[in-house]
Amino acid sequence: MQGGGDRARESSEGREEGKVVFAVARSAETPLVTSMKLHVLPSGPIQTVGYLLTAPERGEAVLIDAPGEILGEIEPILTREKCRLTELWLTHGHWDHTQDAAKVVRATGAKVRAHVADRAMIETPEIMKKFIGEDLGLEPVKVDFWMKQGDRFEALGTTVEVRHVPGHCPGNILFYLAAAGAAFVGDALFNRSIGRTDLPGGSFEMLAQSIREQIYTLPDKTTVYPGHGEPTSVGDEKTGNPYVKG
């Protein structure tokens, strides 16, 4: 779930004069590392951003978070680029990031990675009805790999590092691709904002500590891809974020 009010910005930018612009735009894409592309796909009721990483030369792809209706967004991209979705990485267990997860897994057979601290929300999502206020028909998701702080694994020909960033919720993690200079941070940090801390398991003090220790220690040039709104950079947030200074 995103930060309150206008703290989490959204962009309607897309393509300019035939060039792909790197902003939160439906079906936007850009090269990350050799033979890997990023597709930025705001989806679902509150335009949560799902990120599809494709490696056409390998015929593989990875999805980061699964907001509602994203299956219909990724299927034509996978077909066009002749890629098979091999994994789904959940940055955390809030409903807007997992709404289409079960559908994605059924359709693609993708293996799921997430943090065990959000196991209850992922495996028994009906508990979120208390703070959603409505029944969105959420389905449980089977997680194949429970991630923890410092884990490293290979995907799409590059190394991925996992960092635990609690405070927005207990199991928020980021996925850092050093070769691409990219960190997918869920709802921990936004462009000039931070995630909500007033939901169950949230803590401003914990989130601020997590951001300083786990995000602000990445290289300043690292591009930060949040769960809502526009990308930013570690350096920009360290100096300009009004909630957590570096």
The pLDDT of residue 24: 33
* Global pTM value: 0.87
Residue 40 scores a pLDDT above 70: yes
The pLDDT of residue 18: 26
Whole-number Å distance between alpha carbons of 209 and 206? 5
pLDDT digits (tens, 9 = 90+) for 215-236: 999 999 999 999 999 999 999 9
Whole-number Å distance between alpha carbons of 82 and 235? 36
User: Comparing C-alpha atoms, which of 83, 95, 115, 108 is closest to residue 185?
Assistant: 115
Question: Of the ranges 32-41, 82-91, 103-112, 162-171, which one carries the lowest mean pLDDT score?
Answer: 32-41
Please name the residue ranges forming H helices in the chain.
70-81, 95-98, 101-108, 119-123, 129-132, 204-210, 234-240
Residue 13 scores a pLDDT above 80: no
- Angle, helices 101-108 vs 70-81, to 10°: value is 30
Contact predicate 226/187, CB 8 Å: yes
Residue 170 scores a pLDDT above 80: yes
The pLDDT of residue 103: 97
Residue 35 scores a pLDDT above 90: no
What average pLDDT does range 34-53 have in this prediction?
Answer: 92
What average pLDDT does range 166-170 have in this prediction?
Answer: 97
User: Comparing C-alpha atoms, which of 96, 52, 93 is closest to residue 72?
Assistant: 52
The pLDDT of residue 32: 64
Q: Which domains does the chain have, with CATH numbers?
A: 5-240 (3.60.15.10)
- Report helix, strand or coil for 114: strand
